[in-house]
Amino acid sequence: MRHDPLPAKLFVSNRERLRRLMLPNSLAVVNANDVLPTNADGTLVPRPNSDLFYLTGVEQEESVLLLCPDAQDEKLREVLFLREANPLLETWEGHKLTKEEARQLTGIRQIKWLGEFRRVFHQFMCECEHVYLNTNEHKRAVVEVETREARFVAETLRRYPLHDYQRLARLMHPLRVVKSEPEIALLKQACAITERGFRRVLRFVKAGVMEYEVEAEFAHEFTRRRAGFAYPPIIGTGRNALALHYLENSAQCQPGQLLLLDVAAAYANYNADLTRTIPVSGRFTRRQKQVYRAVLRVLRQCIKNLRPGKLPKDWQKEAEQLIEKELVDLGLLTPRAIQRQDPESPALKKYFMHGVGHPLGLDVHDVGFTTQPFQPGWVMTVEPAIYIPEEGFAVRLENDVVIGEKENLDLMASMPLEAEEIEELMNR
């Protein structure tokens, strides 16, 4: 654990919220993620299962959580199973959680070793009528490799075919999308670290530096503050910014170009998501500033438009209408072209082709039912953009915003954003 310990009451509260949604006489099971292989005997750095972390704070591989609120034995209503440490394992992999450490971390009293899992799970299955199994139900997910959860689901259905099975994701998504105050505090921390990195980069960028050198400046600032990258950094100069998920980060920044930075920190598994576009030479050209200010106006209006009760699709439509007007004012579209456009392929899509925002939290594209209206406590990215292939540059800006009952909270309000402020900091 690189970050500060989190209070166990956060996870106790999260489990209680889940319990209140579960059917009577039911069981829920959540597994840790696999440790993924690379090549030869290599593995990727383990990434915690977001649902397991949300409910327990546990980041250790092979862990399993059982929740059975109506279990006859009250001591078994929540049980966490862990790998049992031994000297050889710890020699190779380092310290593993003890039972007492797990109790302090999670607030769960009943901690057992994995060797006991099958017996206890079978006991629960004999008692319970409804079983919540976990799968990745993010609508944009493309899962081609069978996960640990998927293997567990398949085995459980084979061994116990007569139970009433339920989808745990249908309960977890509405829980996780509404952030509690402790979660918002962690997101604020991730945003603050991200701001440190961005301000460092403003002092560093100039003509001649390499995109990967800019990435290294962020890495230095994030690592020294016990954070990591929330996602692979996108650092695109010139035409590279026209590729939405450009990841090569290998080009040299040239005089007069714009540099798009889609880079953010993750702290305690909670993710920020930032995009800024800055001038390599420290000054925007007249045309670049025109486009920059257009995107900034859209960003600010979209933040205001992000209100409880509004459907995400309607918010997206409002953003597209704002960008369409700016494209006309910039001379990129004409009213005639808009009137004659195919409704299935609007003219603005040439210059703005993606969503204006998404839920943010333990996952960068966090879970939540985006077919339902916004609620207070949702944390949304707001990321309008204008991409101009014929002029060889793009401007994208992005802040992270907590939706409030009466007013929103911009978690990146202190981040440099005005074109003049960025120029001043780059030339100081």
- Note whether 16 and 136 are same-domain residues: yes
- Note whether 54 and 186 are same-domain residues: no
String of b and e for 97-115 (b: at least 16 CB within 10 Å)? Answer: beeeebbebbbbebbbeee
pLDDT at 428: 87
* Boundary of a domain, candidates 116, 150, 176: 176
The label of the residue with tokens 């333990």 reads: 362
Token pair, residue 407, equals 């007013």
- Note whether 50 and 106 are same-domain residues: yes
Inside any domain, residue 1: no
The rounded distance, in Å, linking the Cα atoms of 167 and 351 is 39
- 3-state SS class at 414: coil
Task: Give residue 98's domain range.
Answer: 8-176
- Note whether 39 and 66 are same-domain residues: yes
pLDDT in tens, the chain (428 residues): 689 999 999 999 999 999 999 999 999 999 999 999 999 999 999 999 999 999 999 999 999 999 999 999 999 999 999 999 899 999 999 999 999 999 999 999 999 999 999 999 999 999 999 999 999 999 999 888 999 999 999 999 999 999 999 999 999 999 999 999 999 999 999 999 999 999 999 999 999 999 999 999 999 999 999 999 999 999 999 999 999 999 999 999 999 999 999 999 999 999 999 999 999 999 999 999 999 999 999 999 999 999 999 999 999 999 999 999 999 999 999 999 999 999 899 999 999 999 999 999 999 999 999 999 999 999 999 999 999 999 999 999 999 999 999 999 999 999 999 999 999 999 98
- 390 CB-contact burial (10 Å; exposed 0-12 / middle 13-18 / buried 19+): exposed
Q: How far is CA 149 from the centre of its chain?
A: 20
- Residues making up the chain, counted from first to last: 428
CATH classification at residue 336: 3.90.230.10
* Boundary of a domain, candidates 158, 176, 194: 176
Inside any domain, residue 206: yes
For residue 332, how many other CB atoms are within 10 A of its CB?
Answer: 20
- 3-state SS class at 104: helix
Inside any domain, residue 2: no
String of b and e for 185-210 (b: at least 16 CB within 10 Å)? Answer: ebbbbbbbbbbbbbebbbeebeeebe
Inside any domain, residue 114: yes
- Note whether 394 and 249 are same-domain residues: yes
Helix (H) or strand (E) holding 295: helix 286-305
The rounded distance, in Å, linking the Cα atoms of 269 and 265 is 10
Token pair, residue 28, equals 């829920």
CATH classification at residue 132: 3.40.350.10
Q: Judge contact between 85 and 145, C-beta under 8 A.
A: no
Q: Which residues pair with 236 in a beta bridge?
A: 260
* Boundary of a domain, candidates 128, 147, 176: 176
CA geometry: angle 21, 24, 28, nearest 5 deg = 65
- Note whether 169 and 259 are same-domain residues: no
Inside any domain, residue 3: no
- Note whether 201 and 292 are same-domain residues: yes
- Note whether 415 and 280 are same-domain residues: yes
Q: Judge contact between 176 and 362, C-beta under 8 A.
A: yes
Inside any domain, residue 168: yes
The residues, any chain, with a CB within 8 Å of residue 349's CB and separated by 6 or more, are: none
The beta-strand segments (E) located in 196-313 are: 228-229, 234-237, 258-262, 265-267, 270-271, 275-279
Q: How far is CA 54 from the centre of its chain?
A: 13
Helix (H) or strand (E) holding 379: strand 379-382
Name which of 156, 138, 135 is nearest 147 in CA terms. Answer: 135
Inside any domain, residue 172: yes
Inside any domain, residue 22: yes
- Note whether 151 and 196 are same-domain residues: no
Name which of 258, 193, 200 is nearest 229 in CA terms. Answer: 193
Write the CA distances from 403 to 184, 303, 382, 407, integer angstroms: 11, 9, 11, 7
Q: Supply the DSSP symbol for 342.
A: B
Q: How far is CA 365 from the centre of its chain?
A: 4
pLDDT at 1: 67
Number of domains present in the structure of the chain: 2
pLDDT at 2: 85
- Note whether 170 and 257 are same-domain residues: no
**CA distance between the termini of the chain:** 38
- Note whether 172 and 222 are same-domain residues: no
The rounded distance, in Å, linking the Cα atoms of 321 and 341 is 14
